[in-house]
Amino acid sequence: MISRLLVANRGEIACRIFRTCRELGIQTVAVHSDADENALHARVADATVRLPGAAPADTYLRGDLIVKAALTAGADAVHPGYGFLSENADFARAVLDAGLVWIGPPPEAIETMASKPRAKHLMGLKPLKAVTEADLPVLVKAAAGGGGRGMRVVRHLADLDPALTAARAEATSAFGDGEVFVEPYIEGGRHVEVQILADTHGTVWTLGTRDCSLQRRHQKVIEEAPAPGLNPELTHSLYEMAVRAARAVDYVGAGTVEFLIADDDRAHFLEMNTRLQVEHPVTEAIHAIDLVALQLSVAEGHALDPDGPPRARGHAIEARLYAEDPAQDWTPQTGTLHRLTAPPGTRLDTGYTDGDEIGVHYDPMLAKLIAHAPTRAEAIRRLAGALDHTTIHGPTTNRDLLVRSLRHQEFTSAAMDTGFYDRHLDALTAPAPDPYAPLAAALADAHGRSRFGGWRNLPAHPQSKRYATGGEEIEVTYHHTREGLTAEGVRVVRAAPGLVLLEVDGVQQKFEVARYGDQIYVNTTPLTALPRFPDPTTQQLPGSLLAPMPGTVVRVAEGLTEGSEVKAGDPLLWLEAMKMEHRITAPATGTLTTLNAVPGQQVELGMLLAVVQPG
């Protein structure tokens, strides 16, 4: 029996596995990079081992260091989680060769299925060898790994070579393997997958379907189980293909077989993920099981029930909460997460707690919220409501996008597909700050100050404050009077530093206010307090391109120098941050007058990268 488990991962998934280990009485070992020394997964483990460095290639992708850490810490088993080395056959062999228990499928199964071209060949499919105009659009895809990294949609032949170059670079950085391939891209399809679990005694479970169609950058955002609207024949066919894939490689453990369902209800095999999926909680919720506990049981040699898994009940939906700005090309955000709390009754899986720093080295996912209910409509309502009442004080997140997505008619009617955000992103990210939030912030700040705010000729002279929110600057005014604080058009019922009550048209509204320096949060509306007079030294020249995040310059456009003529939208350079590559483009057609970036350079948020003089 397993007594001490090392998790070869970090963040949310490491914390998730540790939770099950604690329930089973298994001791835990964490590995951490220098950037993760104080991360939650390192704090909650029974023991930790340092992996020197910060970059994944130096730490969480170093299988030799992780195996050494397991032996040094006295672990007898290794769980890879998802991402990093979870689908690396050589790492699995190294774990087994060291005499440790591997929580996953045999290395041979990983080797066959982790390479997307080999997996497709096994299932009777072939990737494109030469792309012609008639094949477009196509998808460039990393042969190893997943999570949307190393993927590019190509709609014009001229874009194919740049897409291949970018995908190889991103795949090498994320997985240590730059192999990519090209396959037809099916537009308007649904992304549906089947969860499987197999033991060493010949039993293969299929644990229902999941729909993961809502994606950004080919990475899932909202997942649900079971996949809605599938007819029984199609569902049965998906189960058969999933079992066939598992048996073809003598699969053991948890895995997922993914499909794209076209408009004509034909299922196209995408890949088999030989690991636990990020979205596994929705399957756990409807089947009332613990997939991590079952993984450990299978690894210990126990048999699954040959009659199949527990019957599914109800519907479950999961939303991934990211530190990113969907309105700004999904740009990752960094900084201090001051507070993160979800309402009772909602499952919250996270690798962060209040006060943790969100850095640039790893994926920007903060947490997953999961709701389970008897019906799909009830699950949607519960999850949207829970997100609405989740407290998030820190960097910009996709929370508002998630709430609007869940309440969108296309999603509630189960008519969504993988092009959902291509069609609706602008509407879903339109700013909608609470119009009374700035006033509430000002009143909370004014509470307890002098009634007259210092000597004035007119005691009722209005006070004003300026805030930035939703891309706009807003100025609000209020008065100090003998009766207390007042404002035009509302009745101030109460004003305290953390709570303001306003009566608007006879209805009282509650505003909870939290402040961290210049950052203010009023309910779910973030504000930035602005100085009364702008600092002229902070002004930038027109056409200035500032780093949208801390990161590393990985490439500069070929032949680009100061004096080069550029067109609006031309890629100028590429930044890598949070395991993704981000393209910096020319804001206008004109001349590049300044270029402050070279490959390999580390840049900070707001650093001037380039200036394009329009005209």
Mean pLDDT of the chain: 92
CA separation for the pair 486, 539 (Å, rounded): 35
The per-residue pLDDT for range 388-421, each reduced to its tens digit, is 999 999 999 999 999 999 999 999 999 999 999 9
**pLDDT score at 87:** 93
CA separation for the pair 479, 459 (Å, rounded): 9
Domains and their CATH numbers in the chain? 4-103 (3.40.50.20), 113-184 (3.30.1490.20), 189-313 (3.30.470.20), 314-407 (3.30.470.20), 437-530 (3.30.700), 539-614 (2.40.50.100)
* pLDDT above 70 as % of the chain: 95
Q: Closest Cα partner for 60 from 339, 267, 514, 363?
A: 363
CA 113 to chain centre: 24
Out of 88-92, 127-131, 341-345, 489-493, pick the least confident: 127-131
**pLDDT score at 531:** 85
Average pLDDT over residues 320-348: 94
CA separation for the pair 594, 609 (Å, rounded): 8
For 302, which DSSP code?
P
* AA letter at 46: D
User: Does position 137 have pLDDT exceeding 70, yes or no?
Assistant: yes
Q: Are 134 and 145 in contact (CB under 8 A)?
A: no
Q: Decide if 275 is catalytic.
A: yes
Confidence of residue 130 (pLDDT cuts 50, 70, 90): confident
Average pLDDT over residues 538-545: 73
**pLDDT score at 535:** 56
For 561, which DSSP code?
-
Place of tokens 């479970």: 205
Residue 182, token pair as written in the block? 């090209």
CB half-sphere exposure, 385, CA atoms < 13 A? 12
User: Does position 555 have pLDDT exceeding 80, yes or no?
Assistant: yes
CA separation for the pair 247, 241 (Å, rounded): 10
CA separation for the pair 53, 64 (Å, rounded): 15
Residue 227, token pair as written in the block? 């996949």
How many other C-beta atoms lie within 10 A of the C-beta of residue 165? 14
Torsion angle (degrees, nearest 10) of CA 584, 590, 591, 594 = -40
User: Does position 143 have pLDDT exceeding 80, yes or no?
Assistant: no
User: Does position 458 have pLDDT exceeding 60, yes or no?
Assistant: no
* AA letter at 480: H
The per-residue pLDDT for range 72-129, each reduced to its tens digit, is 999 999 999 999 999 999 999 999 999 999 999 999 999 999 777 788 888 877 667 7
Name the maximum alpha-carbon separation found in the chain.
88
User: Does position 453 have pLDDT exceeding 50, yes or no?
Assistant: no
Q: Are 471 and 396 in contact (CB under 8 A)?
A: no
Place of tokens 């298994």: 26
CA separation for the pair 383, 109 (Å, rounded): 36
CA separation for the pair 284, 593 (Å, rounded): 56
Query: pTM to 2 decimals?
Result: 0.86
Residue 44, token pair as written in the block? 């909650």
Q: Closest Cα partner for 73 from 143, 15, 8?
A: 8
Average pLDDT over residues 222-227: 98
Q: Where are the alpha helices (DSSP H) in 190-330?
A: 232-248, 280-287, 291-299
Q: Report which of residues 591 and 532 the model is more confident about.
A: 591
CA separation for the pair 110, 272 (Å, rounded): 9
Average pLDDT over residues 565-579: 87
First to last CA, the chain: 71
Q: Are 190 and 261 in contact (CB under 8 A)?
A: yes
3-state secondary structure of 69: helix
* pLDDT above 90 as % of the chain: 72
Residue 596, token pair as written in the block? 């402050």
Q: What angle do CA 229, 375, 256 make, to 5 degrees?
A: 55
Length of the chain: 615
Instruction: State the DSSP H helix or E strand holding residue 120, giving kind and residue range, or none if neither.
Output: helix 116-122
DSSP string for 394-434: SS--SHHHHHHHHTSHHHHTT---TTHHHHHHHHHTS----
CA separation for the pair 477, 433 (Å, rounded): 18
Place of tokens 């296309």: 410
DSSP string for 24-51: HT-EEEEEEEGGGTT-HHHHHSSEEEEE
Is the link from the previous residue into 226 a cis peptide, with omega within 30 of 0?
yes
For 304, which DSSP code?
P
Average pLDDT over residues 443-461: 62
Q: Are 169 and 555 in contact (CB under 8 A)?
A: yes
Q: What angle do CA 51, 56, 58 make, to 5 degrees?
A: 50
CA separation for the pair 92, 98 (Å, rounded): 10
CA separation for the pair 105, 198 (Å, rounded): 9
Average pLDDT over residues 357-384: 96
CA separation for the pair 350, 15 (Å, rounded): 7
Single out the catalytic residue among 16, 149, 152, 275. Answer: 275
Confidence of residue 452 (pLDDT cuts 50, 70, 90): very low
Residue 125, token pair as written in the block? 């499919």
Average pLDDT over residues 18-44: 98
For 509, which DSSP code?
E
Q: Closest Cα partner for 330 from 601, 579, 82?
A: 579
CA separation for the pair 113, 121 (Å, rounded): 10
Q: Are 173 and 579 in contact (CB under 8 A)?
A: yes
Q: Are 579 and 591 in contact (CB under 8 A)?
A: no
CA separation for the pair 160, 270 (Å, rounded): 21
CA separation for the pair 77, 3 (Å, rounded): 8
Q: Report which of residues 143 and 103 the model is more confident about.
A: 103
Q: Report which of residues 254 and 541 the model is more confident about.
A: 254
In Å, what is the CA distance from 517 to each residue of 182, 300, 336, 394?
49, 52, 12, 12
